[in-house]
Amino acid sequence: MTDRDFLSCITLQNDSNGKGDYIAKWEHPTLARPTDAQLAAASDVWTPPQQTTAEKLAAAGVSIDELKALLGLH
């Protein structure tokens, strides 16, 4: 199964209602849909790293000083 096939049978969704991401569609031919308990356990194990504003700007290739200049905040 290719990534494209995988993406066509499983859909994650976020309705921007504060409830977060959820599985909107699960039609995988061989993998069972994870239970709520499995999903909760997985989210307890891994939390996405939090980046500082400086780290986010660096990832975008912009320094804080460049951003200030762009915004006219010398």
Residue-level pLDDT, tens digit, the chain, 74 residues: 566 666 788 998 989 988 888 899 999 888 899 998 888 887 776 666 778 888 888 888 888 888 888 888 86
The dihedral built from the CA positions of residue 61, 64, 66 and 70, taken in this order, carries a sign that is positive
| pLDDT value, residue 47 | 66
Reduced to 3 states, what is the DSSP secondary structure of residue 7? helix
**pTM attached to this predicted model:** 0.49
> So what's the pLDDT on residue 30?
87
Q: How far is CA 47 from CA 5, 12, 17, in A?
A: 27, 18, 20
Furthest CA-CA distance within the chain: 58
d(CA 49, CA 72): 31
